[in-house]
Structure 1
Amino acid sequence: MAATGRAEHHPAEVLVAAGQFAMGDSSGDANPGDAELPIRRVDVAAFGIDSTSVTNAAFAEFVAATGYVTDAEDLGISPVFHLAVRADDRDVLGAASGTPWWAVVRGADWRHPAGPLSSLDGLDDHPVVQVTWRDATAYAAWCGRRLPSEAEWEYASRGGLDGAKYPWGDAEVDEGGWRANIWQGRFPTVNTCEDGYLTTAPVHTFAPNGYGLWQSVGNVWEWCHDTWLPDADQADPEALRVMRGGSYLCHISYCNRYRNSARTSTTADSASGNVGFRTVRSLAP
């Protein structure tokens, strides 16, 4: 890296005291195969965590300071949700294998999250997307920070509500007004956008949780440091890395992973239009 230091537009930090919590699903909505169970008591040391996902503005500072080239830019293609694509037909290379609602788009990257005809105009305060685990790790290192462990992420997302389904408690996302940016309508063809957004929302949308974290569920998936399997080779670029929080594409009929305990994974070199990250730092005891 050509420069070090915290970006001027890096998110404000929330300080989380050391504690213990019940990690895992207590709602009964755990997805089979996602290893949300059994519930276990976990001790967490004190740490500081970004109050929001890292924004386009903050990531742009990192790139300007270091000349960093993201994996999607290097590869030249990345997935974009089919209703969001902004590209000429010649740049849409077909549907992603097994997920036809994702289009493989030439020229999609963090600067052009929906394809080469898109830009970041008006999106400075939206979460950066089209970044891989490796990109997120590079940004965090530049800031003198790191990606959160799964335990840190879930502990912070719960906001002090041990055992709650969501960061705000157990009320459903649309109960008394929208609380998170997820899919409404019939997935994957009709999004009524009742919450106001087809894709990403600004990072300070809706209300923060009890610790002051904004949108830890919905909006964008967030990379964690952990590998999906404890014995995965950390040096292997094909090792699956954990993501938390769900995204604007989550819907009860398809992906009910907009919950505190929900988890999924993909490879460290994968990017898409609904994956971002936030960073943490350890605090002295």
Structure 2
Amino acid sequence: MNKSVQFLGLGVLILGFVNCKSESKENKFQDKVTENIEQKIQVVEHTVLSEKPEEVTTPEGMVWVPGATFKQGAVDSDNTAMNHEKPAIEVVVDGFFMDATEVTNVQFAAFVKATGYVTVAEKGIDWEELKKQVPVGTEKPHDSILQPGSLTFKKAKSSVPNLYDFSQWWNWTIGADWKHPNGPKSSIKGKGNYPVVQVSYEDALAYCQWANRRLPTEAEWELASRAGSFGTIYNWGDDASVLKQKANTWEGEFPVENTMADGFELRAPVKSYPPNAYGLYDMAGNVWEWTSDWYNTNYYKETKAKNMVLVNPKGAESPFTPNNPLAKERVIKGGSFLCSQSYCASYRVSARMGSSMDSSLEHTGFRTVATVKMLKEE
């Protein structure tokens, strides 16, 4: 994959942001999906892998997420949920292992050292290739735009009346990459335990291949975030007043002033806030996290119409964003340090957004998962 969408940077990315607002001998929980909470649906027979098999050792730095049947998507009590989060759908997800934290700078550096990998943000943009993926007649951008770089955040100087004008706080920055997340003069020195950012979807996939891991599906990510707290808006319950103790988000007038009531203005080191009930850190706020699902604004509505329970769903079959039909976007989850109560509140469990596969940003990272099958095949 090339860096085509990175040229569009603000254009393609910004349009994407509009959508932001009982145990057996095998230790398998017998969970037969035979009823529907709201309406009659197709019956699905599936034995959910809930308990971790005794013969499988939990990989270092990961935790076990028990499988379950649950409702994925916005809960009825969430009056801030957006249309692309609802209606909630019934899903069955088998247990798996997940990184306790987002992949850190130290971990990503080890991958780069071992493989020599060069991230998308560190590569130049091939205009001849880019022309194949943008509207006919698009003029060649200035040569500076074709140089290696990425998107960085900048505060607005005054109140922003239109919070859909994302160019007021996003800036295309030459020289921004995972080693220089805020621009060429920035550094990750002394920040090994911070989440790696400025990594595109393909960068995350490359890391996963090296580590024998994969990215979580949206259903897996939501199951892990909820940590047994089904039916609540946040992974800790419904109390928004404790947000600053639970997650790294934006307090104050966005995007002008961050009061740092939670202790941080931008990214925070991993494990700066309490983990959820499964021992997973930063499943709300800090940085957005890539999932493997295509971002399709109609996914929940179309799935609900099929009237069936989905077993280990992998999301939409193809991407679709009405405001950005050319982009191939993947779902990102969890929100970031830029999420505020007045703007998107994407630290909610069901919150989701689409991000172009070859775009990287200073508030987007990832964590990996591993299944029992993957570990047995190592």
Q: Identify whether the pair has TM-score above 0.5, normalized to the shorter chain.
A: yes
**C-alpha contact 2:155 2:257 (8 A) present in aligned 1:** no
How much identity, in percent, do the aligned residues show? Answer: 46
Is 1:213–2:280 an aligned residue pair?
Answer: yes
**Alignment correspondent of 1:93:** none
2:176 to 100, 108, 119: 108
Letter in 2 for 1:37: K
Indicate the structure (1 or 2) with the bigger Cα radius of gyration: 2
Give TM-score scaled by structure 2 length.
0.66
**Alignment correspondent of 1:156:** 224
Provide Cα deviations, 1:177-216, integer angstroms capped at 9, x if missing partner.
Answer: 5210000110001111111111111111110001110011
2:91 to 33, 38, 42: 42
Letter in 1 for 2:254: F
1:191 to 242, 258, 268: 258
Provide Cα deviations, 1:40-87, integer angstroms capped at 9, x if missing partner.
Answer: 221001110001100000000000000000001114111111149xxx
More strand by share: 1
Count of paired positions: 261
Letter in 1 for 2:318: A
2:334 to 226, 236, 245: 245
Q: C-alpha distance in 2, partners of 1:202/1:258?
A: 17
Letter in 2 for 1:161: S
**Alignment correspondent of 1:80:** 152
Letter in 2 for 1:16: V
Letter in 2 for 1:228: Y
Letter in 2 for 1:182: T
2:119 to 67, 70, 73: 70
Provide Cα deviations, 1:70-122, integer angstroms capped at 9, x if missing partner.
Answer: 001114111111149xxxxxxxxxxxx84320111110000000111110112
Letter in 2 for 1:82: K
**Alignment correspondent of 1:276:** 365
CA drift at 1:30: 4.4
Provide Cα deviations, 1:224-259, integer angstroms capped at 9, x if missing partner.
Answer: 0000132327xxx94110000000000111121111
**Alignment correspondent of 1:91:** none
Q: C-alpha distance in 1, partners of 2:82/2:221?
A: 21
Is 1:131–2:199 an aligned residue pair?
Answer: yes
2:269 to 188, 202, 210: 202
Residues 152 and 193 (structure 1 numbering): CA distance in 2 closer, same or farther, change over 3 Å?
A: same
Give TM-score scaled by structure 1 length.
0.86
Letter in 2 for 1:71: V
Letter in 1 for 2:239: A
Unpaired runs of 5+ in structure 2?
A: 1-58, 125-147, 157-164, 297-315, 320-325
1:23 to 63, 72, 75: 72
Q: C-alpha distance in 2, partners of 1:63/1:107?
A: 18
